[in-house]
Amino acid sequence: MSSEPVRVYLGIGSNIDPATHVPKALLALESEFGAVSRSSLYQTRSLGFEGPDFINLAVSFSTTCDFLQLDERLKNIEVDCGRNRSLETGKGSRTLDLDLLLYGELQGELHGHVLPRPEIYERQFVWQPLLEIFEASQQLSGYELELKNRLAQIAKTASLLPPINWTG
């Protein structure tokens, strides 16, 4: 455990029974970590394979878990929502995908993860919900504010996805 709480941001996606898995994941995150800030939900097409549309969102919370503990807890939540990594071959449909986007201000490669996750700047279903959380936050670190400004620049040239009214 870390002595000081660290703010983390996750991307969440599901295209296999998202009405079950997304709410289950949100409840598990709240149970495990306490208060969770979340973006709106967005429906997006599968990227890189043929499959049902995804429901995507971003969440943020504080934790005293170190990086490896957090990674293990997130994988356990994925498994509890039916994910079986041993059956996966590359890109494909998912019951649940919890992607660690940011862990505090860590930058670079850590235990096989690149932080901040490069998709933050490349994939709209990642950057738009993350920007939404940044914009709703009353307290951003200098690092988070820098990321928010960078994402806002990307948003200026994009056609924004509409949030969906989905109660899942």
Residues assigned a catalytic role = 83, 94, 97, 99
Prior bond of 116 cis (ω within 30°):
yes
Ramachandran angles phi, psi of 92, nearest 5°: 180, 180
Ramachandran angles phi, psi of 148, nearest 5°: -55, -45
- The answer for residues whose C-beta is within 8 angstroms of residue 3's C-beta and 6 or more apart is 64
Chain centroid, CA 99 distance in Å: 5
> By the 8 A CB rule, do 47 and 91 touch?
yes
